[in-house]
Structure 1
Amino acid sequence: MEKKKGTKSKKRRRLLLLEIGGVAVLAALAAGIVLYKNIFSDTRDTVLEEYMGYIEKQEYDKMYALLDTTSKDSIEKEDFVTRNKNIYEGIEAEKISLDIPEKQDVSQPLSYRVTMETLAGEIVYDANTFFEKEKGKWRIVWQDSMIFPDLGKDDKVSVTSLEAKRGSIYDRNGTLLAGQGTVQSVGLVPGKMNVQAEADIKGIAEVLGTSPENIEAQLQASWVKEDSFVPLKKMTQTQLNEPYVSPDGTSAGASIQDKLLGYPGVLITEAESRVYPYGESTAHLLGYVQQINAEELEKMKDKGYDEQSVIGKSGLEKLYEERLRAKEGYKIAIVDAEGKEKTALAMKPAEDGEEIHLTIDAKWQQKLYEAYKEDKSCSVVMKPKSGEVLALVSTPSFNSMDFVLGISQEKWDVLNNNPDKPMYNRVRETWAPGSSFKPVTAGIGLTTGAFTPEEDFGASGLSWQKDESWGSYKVTTLHEYNGAVLKNALIYSDNIYFAKAALKIGADTFGEQLEKLGFGQDIPFDIGMTPSQYSNGETFATEVQLADSGYGQGQMLVNPLHLSCIYSAFFNEGNMILPYLELEEGKAPSYWVEHAFTPEAATTIYEDLKEVVSNPEGTGHAAAQVPGVALAGKTGTAEIKESQEDTTGTELGWFAVYNTEGMNNETVLMLNMVEDVKGRGGSGYVVNKDSEVWKQVLAE
């Protein structure tokens, strides 16, 4: 407790030191000090300070010890301790300070001012307290008004929570992605249940995936009455509409809702909840909220969180927690015996969380999820000229509502043990890019002057090696063609051309240029992404690794968002766009890397990639069939295997595709990666899927 007092001029009192025969009588001195303390330190001020100091220490019994006899006769110690404890701890009183004016008449009550911090803010009040002298000591004449001046004997101090709402997340069109909504609360009304309800409770427990003991415990809570609604579980309407399957795997054809309502006393009503209208399609992006756990509370209690707080656990819910969080308000007031407010002591207004609007377009997000939900894939859609990210999708996915409403251990085990890893956010990881990386190698080669677009690297058939120093290793490709120039190499996706291109660029220059493009660096984006890398070491270990890296193999690993940003340079005269996720009207484009490529190199590659789709021989020609839009882009099939002879490996399929016409003259770049496309058409599988997505988006 702090003590605030004005400066008091006190007369100095001397203790006379008696001398007998020139020797000080130390015993007399000690007695004098004790006498001084008894006479001058036991003032009303010091007693009040001692009393108030015990509040923060929660030593209410010591406060009671400072009361006069009459006060103790009027209130029992136990009642005194309980009343003070409930009030001061209920309002979370702390930092209590006293301001006591000087030179007060001891025949009058002591006047003072109290200042304290509470959960509803600062409380300041002026008070007057009488004191009585008992056995030479000042004692407090206590009344309830000593707690707060307007507090009567029968009054109470109420603490009211003022509800605040967590902020909502919207897409670029104002469509709700995460926010307050309603779910269905399944519960029981005890008075309407069967008299012998053991069998019913067991059946209800089976349907809800809980235990009969848990339901019994809920029904036996002290607040429960015959007409009470006892909530058991919150569920979405979609979950309630699912067919009920019994523990032995049989189905009676009834929905979960019908099965539940077949038991007397079951009531299903609406309840407020955080909701995610787009379900699995936005789960990795948005994440989910849950009640705070003990470990989190220990770290965050100083920020106003308590045991009932709901916080973001993953995704944007976690990333934007400080902005989205609802900050409850509180009102502290004195109420009379009938509950009517007498005096408002303090109020801290509730603060709703911030509304956050994303650049995300729910249309793209959902269409891509639906197209790839059975695959292990990731997708990025962005506006390459502005940096606005329109979609970030990872499949397979999970339902955020399962976590919000309380996920069972069984369901968690299914998610966690699924070999397809539905909880794994593939957008944030790095992958071997395969031929989707060839335009990057081309951009570096043209920018550094290592070769020109018209330079013919010479025909090499379907396999090639630089010389005998490579041993048995050869670079292979799938198509033979005439004229090994850049445009044809992109159309036919010629591995040999780009292996030669990397060698022409050289290891040092290639590495330097990749680092300039952001390799080995954190990606400047709200959501943390794994940095791209071009080698497991500091540089290319061998000439073969350098050659393989030219066509996106070797030890090349690229993050999908990063690769999309590199592609954006082909639209921006060689400048690589800075991606962003929060919508900001009128925001001017910003660049992550200026002059990533020369304008001439960027234009050349932009035009050549049109041929990859429009040319009948192009690897992306299937996308030419999308009506209402002209598409361009680059395919890629990355081989994941231990050696060139390994036939058991898998393949990743890529397609980076953009429109050169249509879409109201707005350019959109979409990049997709799908795992395990070996035997399913390689990158052709992705091209066909993406073509359908474009058709669906254009049809709306």
Structure 2
Amino acid sequence: MKKGILITVFITLIMVMTSCSGKNKATPYDYFDLYVDLWNDQEFTKMYNMLSSDAKEEFPPDEFIDRYDKIYGDLNVSELEIAYDKLSEEELKTGLKEGSITLPFTVTMGSMAGPIEFEYEATLIQEGEEEKDKEWFISWDAGFIFPPLKDGGKVSIQTSTPMRGEILDRNKMPLATNDYVYEVGIIPDELGENPGQQKEQIASLLNISVEAIDTELSADWVEPDLFVPIKKIPKTDETTISKLQEVKGIVVREVMGRTYPLGEAAVHLIGYIGPINAEELEEKDPGQYGPNDLIGKRGLEQLYDEQLKGEKGTKILIVKDNGNEEVLAEKPVKDGENITLTIDSNIQEKIYKAYDDKSGTSAAINPQTGETLALVSSPAFNPNEFLYGITQKRLDELENDPQTPIINRFSATFAPGSVIKPITAAIGLENGTIIPDEGIEIKGLTWDNGEGWGDYKVRRVSQTDEPVDLADALIRSDNIYFAMKAVEMGNQSLIEGLEGFGFGEQLPFEYPFLESAISSSGVLDDEVQVANTSYGQAEIEMSALHMAITYTTFLNEGNMLKPTLLSTEETGQIWKENLISPDNAKLIQDILRDVVVKGTATIAKNDKLAISGKTGTAELKLSHDSKGDENGWFVGYPTDKQDILIAMMVEQVEDIGTSSFVAEKVASLLLELSN
């Protein structure tokens, strides 16, 4: 009954169409036009009701509708268009007389493998008991979907996985690469008489749970004599492999996987990949990723996932019952792009190891070109733990570690302490507040500017009986000198000067960093805050990379360079042009050498390599009269060659030599890297 009603609706529609066009009776064209419109709109249920009785008998509704739905859905069919040519008047006349006409048509569509186009013929036949009741119906067969399906067969989709692009350093050394790894699996039948004991031993060696093993072994496809993959581990873990091979039921084979040669030393920069989750899949465009794909989870693997992942190859074909194949569309696989960085893996690794598990961050650059040579965050974690499966217990250990190895420090900001003083000096020189040879009489180790300061006083670590000029203030790192000069220039001049050095701006850099900030509000509320900001305390914060880049101003005649990370970027670009005069840049550069020769960084002085730089200690405490943790800084570079500059910060140095501890490390690194 329902079927008859639906057909009546279609016939009524066609009658309306024909009456509007002035015709007395619907033609085969009217029926096929409606069918084509429904097909273009993928209205498969309505299409079915226009089939001939023989077609409906051969193809039940579910088979017709579900097959169209599944095939079109699986192929991501889009931009479907059906077109046909009308018959000659003579052909139409003959067809009307015989009650059967054949219309050639063309189908075009987009698919996951590219465009598909085919030609086919539709036969329309008249059905009805009385002549006046006869209407036209489609004599449908499976060839309407794709012609090769007319005589049987099925649609098959074959995909080819692209090779993920590699991340390389400046010397083409791999930072993220595709290499063979070990895949550890179990053959259930070979676990022996006590499989439970064997699984416990395997779980212990692989640092996973027995439940995780049981989950893999209980998959529907598993057979007693089949290899069941359990976990992948890097080839460097030879000890674990050796122990596993002694366990019954274990099979180890080599498969292609992602590896990170620098491990912990570069994980915060490079990141890692992992299985895509439901939330990530939902965010991506349809067809861009599949539920079993790997995706960048952190770092550059995540940032450049689009370029690295490549594009899957897809082939749509008809597989006949005899095994023969006919290709409908094919999109070739496109491997991911390699990304080459300015990073030097040797420098990256050496700086990371220099931390010896202490917390901190470093940036190394070429101060003549702006190329980033290293971005280090310590401590860190092994990316392979996340790539090849991390237990909840291990994840909890990392997340609850007081040293926070999960946190990326190099993209964060920290109080700079006295390494900011060359910048304050440059600002003062440019606005005329600081006259290089003009000395200031400073008495004692503390200073305040009167009643408005309450009981707060600026402290310095050493004093002199002589007037303090700029060189002496930088060499001895005199807080009072810079506080007095900052108060003299005023908060607005200091703010404008710092903004000129990039504070409050995003670094023009490929990797996202927190903005360096003058204060939490962007303003300096009072004289005490102005004074403290001048020597790197109060609320001022910088990233190590920004700190390193600011020092390029002193080595490039007053121009601050733009930092680069990709080898394809133009080097030597200027971020802030004519920030200070060439004379003032040279003056500060000369004083930075004296800081090492006879100032706070004499620990960096050696007979083999002349080093210039500036020390800094940032005190992290709630009040000026309390004691807190101290972060030590040193920014240093070879005085003559000037091909590398390292800005290093180490946390909690109050009991290990403060900033001198850091200066010694940087000097050792520069000396080692110069050989």
Q: Given the superposition, is the C-alpha separation of residues 381 and 80 from structure 1 closer, same or farther in structure 2, using an over 3 Å criterion?
A: same
Distance 1:240 1:558, change over 3 A: same
Give the match for residue 329 of structure 2.
346
- Partners of 1:397 and 1:626 lie apart in 2 by 34
Rate the CA distance shift 1:37–1:266 in 2: closer, same or farther, 3 A: farther
Measure how far apart 1:158 and its partner are: 2.1
1:10 aligned partner: none
> Which of these residues, 640, 650, 659, is aligned with residue 674 of structure 1?
650
Partner of 1:248: none
Question: Which residue is 1:20 aligned to?
Answer: none
> 2:665 corresponds to which residue?
689
Secondary structure at the aligned position of 2:231 is classed as strand
Whichever residue aligns with residue 498 of structure 1, its letter is: F
Corresponding residue of 2:281: 297
Q: Taking structure 1 as reference, are residues 314 and 488 closer, same or farther at Cα in structure 2, changes over 3 Å only?
A: same
Deviation at 1:53, TM superposition (A): 4.8
* Equivalent-residue separation in structure 2 for 1:281 and 1:86 (angstroms): 48
Q: Which of 280, 292, 314 does residue 264 from structure 2 map onto?
A: 280
Extract unaligned runs of 5+ from structure 2.
Answer: 1-14, 129-133
Q: 1:139 — aligned with what?
A: 137
Per-residue CA deviations over 1:162-204 (Å, capped at 9, x if unaligned) read: 2212221111111111122222111112343326634433443
Matched with 2:634 is 655
Unaligned runs of 5+ in 1: 1-14, 16-28, 242-255
SS of the aligned residue for 2:410 comes to helix
Which residue in 2 is equivalent to 1:497? 481
Specify whether residues 64 and 600 from structure 1 end up closer, same or farther in structure 2 by C-alpha distance, changes over 3 A only.
same
For the pair 1:444 / 2:427, whether they are aligned, the reply is yes
Change (3 A) 1:137 1:229: farther
Deviation, structure 1 residue 550? 2.0
**Structure 1 position 45 matched with structure 2 position 32:** yes
Stretch deviating more after TM superposition (588-597 or 117-126): 588-597
The answer for the alignment partner of 2:616 in structure 1 is 636
1:309 matched residue in structure 2: 293
Shift of 1:552: 1.5
> Which of 95, 113, 118 is the equivalent residue of 2:106?
113
Amino acid at match of 1:603: K
Matched, 1:384 2:367: yes
Q: Does 2:644 align with 1:624?
A: no
Map 1:361-440; keep pairs closer than 5 Å.
361-440=344-423
Amino acid corresponding to residue 185 of structure 1 in structure 2 = E
Is the 8 Å Cα contact of residues 638 and 670 (structure 2) preserved in structure 1? no
User: What corresponds to 2:219 in structure 1?
Assistant: 221
> 2:371 and 2:660 mapped to 1: Cα distance?
27
1:395 Cα deviation after fit: 0.6
Asked if the contact 2:342–2:567 (Cα under 8 Å) also holds between the matched residues in 1, the reply is yes
Give CA deviations for 1:422-474 in whole Å, capped at 9, x if unaligned: 11111122211111111111111111121221111124232233345534322
Find the counterpart in structure 1 of residue 527 from structure 2: 543
Q: Secondary structure of 1:510's match?
A: helix
Q: Take 1:504 and 1:313, find their aligned partners in 2: how far apart are those partners?
A: 49
The equivalent of 1:335 in structure 2 is: 319
SS of 1:109 mapped into structure 2: strand
Distance 1:588 1:235, change over 3 A: closer
**Change in CA separation of 1:494 and 1:103 when aligned onto 2, cut-off 3 Å:** same
AA at the equivalent of 1:45: F
Measured after TM superposition, the shift of residue 538 of structure 1 is: 4.7
Residues 142-181 of structure 1 correspond to what in structure 2 (within 5 A)? 142-181=140-179
C-alpha RMSD of the superposition: 2.8
CA distance in 2, matches of 1:53, 1:550: 70
In the alignment, residue 361 of structure 2 is paired with which amino acid?
Answer: C
Q: What is the Cα deviation at residue 259 of structure 1? A: 4.0
Deviations for 1:16-70, whole angstroms, at most 9, x for unmatched residues?
xxxxxxxxxxxxx9xx99x98974588451464266357x35x4x6655544343
**Matching residue's letter, 2:637:** Y
Q: Is the 8 A contact 1:47 1:139 kept in 2?
A: no
Residue 8 of structure 1 is matched in structure 2 by: none
The DSSP-based 3-state class of the residue aligned with 2:554 is: coil
Q: In the aligned structure 2, how far is the partner of 1:468 from the partner of 1:44?
A: 96
TM-score normalised per structure 2: 0.89
Query: Equivalents in 2 of 1:196, 1:110: separation in Å?
Result: 71
- Tell me which moved more, 534-543 or 227-236: 534-543
For normalisation by structure 1, the TM-score amounts to 0.86
Aligned to 1:357: 340
Please tell me whether the aligned partners of residues 28 and 136 of structure 2 are also in contact (alpha carbons under 8 angstroms). Answer: no
Give the whole-Å Cα distance in 2 for the aligned partners of 1:37 and 1:301: 50
Task: Determine if contact 2:234/2:259 at 8 Å carries over to the other structure.
Answer: no
Letter in 1 for 2:348: Q
Name the CA shift for 1:269/1:132 in 2 (closer, same or farther; >3 Å). same
Q: Residue 658 of structure 1: CA displacement?
A: 0.8
Q: Secondary structure at the match of 1:607?
A: helix
The alignment status of 1:527 with 2:507, answered yes or no, reads no
Aligned to 2:148, what secondary structure does the other structure show?
coil
Deviates more, 1:140-149 or 1:211-220: 211-220
Alpha-carbon distance in structure 2 between the residues aligned to 1:338 and 1:206 = 50
Identify the range of structure 1 (174-183 vs 679-688) with the bigger mean alpha-carbon deviation.
174-183
